[in-house]
Amino acid sequence: MELSEQIKARRSIRKYQDTQIPREALEKIIEAGTYASNAGGGQRSMIVGIRNAELVEKLGKLNMAHFDRSRLIGSYVSKEQPSVIDDPTIKSGFYGAPSLCIVFAQKDFLFSVPDAFCCAESMCMEAFDLGISSCIVSRAEETFLSEEGRVFLREWGVPENYIGRCFVTLGYCDGSYPKAKPRRENRVVIVE
């Protein structure tokens, strides 16, 4: 598939098979993250790859620990691939994915959030090219707030001045691969 077709075909997947992804695939996906555009060419983001379904499940519950449903505005995310917003019975923010990438960035750097999400998008595209499904997930800051969360950061050697910014879930899509929602109109202006 051409790159432009891949960009349009990739979807956020929230239903996963139990099958684990190969380690080589995870390595390639992380490598793609390290090649993402980054502010000032500083290459500041740090990626932790977790290829352990049990640990991903544990982290997915921490990800939901501070989820506040009272602030939701009522719109749905996806009927085919319901998110935690759509389905209150989902207990893990990582949807049963067997692997996960966590993107950390410097707390005090102005572009740490955009850097991290650029990194995440590159990883999603690389995963798609490898036939692996993904979903960008937010709430990384609060996921590691608890003592349990902070223990992981120490275990993984995440420096004190780094903070979680986002996640990329990874695994094989369970069921049919969804199509894109129609694009909202009147969002583009081209000036010549």
Comparison of 11 and 51: residue with beta carbon closer to ligand FMN: 11
Q: Please state whether beta strands 46-50 and 133-137 pair in parallel, antiparallel, or not at all (unpaired).
A: unpaired
Q: How far apart are CA 152 and CA 60, in angstroms?
A: 13
Query: Does 64 interact with ligand FMN (rule: CB under 6 A)?
Result: no
Comparison of 26 and 168: residue with beta carbon closer to ligand FMN: 168
Comparison of 72 and 110: residue with beta carbon closer to ligand FMN: 72
Q: Please state whether beta strands 133-137 and 99-106 pair in parallel, antiparallel, or not at all (unpaired).
A: unpaired
Structure tokens at 183: 């694009």
| Cβ at position 138, least distance to ligand FMN in Å | 4
Query: Does 135 interact with ligand FMN (rule: CB under 6 A)?
Result: yes
135 near 77, Cβ under 8 Å? no
How many residues appear in the chain?
Answer: 192
Comparison of 27 and 91: residue with beta carbon closer to ligand FMN: 91
CA distances from 19 to 34, 99, 128, 133, 139 (A): 26, 10, 16, 12, 26
Contact with ligand FMN (CB under 6 A): which of 39, 64, 65, 77?
A: 77
Structure tokens at 161: 């001045």
Query: Does 158 interact with ligand FMN (rule: CB under 6 A)?
Result: no
Query: Does 11 interact with ligand FMN (rule: CB under 6 A)?
Result: yes
Query: Does 12 interact with ligand FMN (rule: CB under 6 A)?
Result: yes
Comparison of 23 and 76: residue with beta carbon closer to ligand FMN: 76
Q: How far apart are CA 44 and CA 34, in angstroms?
A: 9
- Rounded to 5°, the CA angle 180-59-173 comes to 30
Query: Does 65 interact with ligand FMN (rule: CB under 6 A)?
Result: no
Query: Does 138 interact with ligand FMN (rule: CB under 6 A)?
Result: yes
Contact with ligand FMN (CB under 6 A): which of 16, 104, 117, 144?
A: 117
In the complex, the residues that contact ligand FMN under the rule CB under 6 A are 11-12, 14, 77-78, 83, 117, 135-139, 180
